[in-house]
Amino acid sequence: ADILVLHGPNLNMLGVREPGIYGSKSLEDINSGLEQEADSFGITLDTFQSNTEGELVTRIQQAYKENVKFIIINPAAYTHTSVAMRDALLSVKIPFIEVHLSNVHQRETFRHHSYFSDKAVAVICGLGADGYSYALDAAYKRISQAK
């Protein structure tokens, strides 16, 4: 696919999980909205969620073989812990936008540091599910300029 959207741990629980923080949309709702948006742009989009760090690393490596042009990633709790996922993104050299539903900077101090932000094209946080759609819009602009 042109674009890969990666979702980290517990994001499969969206809609049920702390809706006051993360909103009422399910992950399926978010993914189907993004697929529709990609269709309207005439590009292809894959989505993948895992609760396991190694599976996310392997999916990033696979993206390299699939010639994915842009990654949109919400690493969820791995944002604050995962050197392995950071290294995977740097290995494949695929540009990425980091998305968080909540404004992590308004929350606990352990959520203020990200292992991804200094390498991301951009970071979107605090805009809920809309953040993914804005990221897709930006990714589409970038890949169509690159053609």
Binding positions for ligand DQA, rule: CB under 6 A? 10, 74, 76-77, 79, 100-102, 104, 111
If DSSP codes are grouped into helix, strand and coil, which group holds residue 142? helix
For residue 42, the minimal CB distance to ligand DQA (Å) is: 28
If DSSP codes are grouped into helix, strand and coil, which group holds residue 145? helix
Known binding residue 111? Answer is yes
If DSSP codes are grouped into helix, strand and coil, which group holds residue 37? helix
| Residue nearer to ligand DQA on the CB measure, 43 or 56 | 56
Known binding residue 101? Answer is yes
Distances (CA, A) of 67 to 28, 123, 126: 25, 23, 30
Secondary structure letter of residue 11 according to DSSP: G
The DSSP element (H or E) to which 100 belongs, if any, is strand 96-100
Active site residue 100: yes
- Which residues are CB-contacts of 39 (< 8 A; sequence separation ≥ 6)? none
Active site residue 22: yes
For residue 119, the minimal CB distance to ligand DQA (Å) is: 16
For residue 8, the minimal CB distance to ligand DQA (Å) is: 6
For residue 34, the minimal CB distance to ligand DQA (Å) is: 15
Give the separation between CA 36 and CA 38, rounded to whole angstroms: 5
Active-site residue identified among 78, 100, 115, 140: 100
Helices 27-41 and 130-146, axial angle in degrees (round to 10): 30
| Residue nearer to ligand DQA on the CB measure, 5 or 104 | 104
Active-site residue identified among 22, 78, 115, 140: 22
| Residue nearer to ligand DQA on the CB measure, 58 or 117 | 117
Catalytic residues: 22, 100
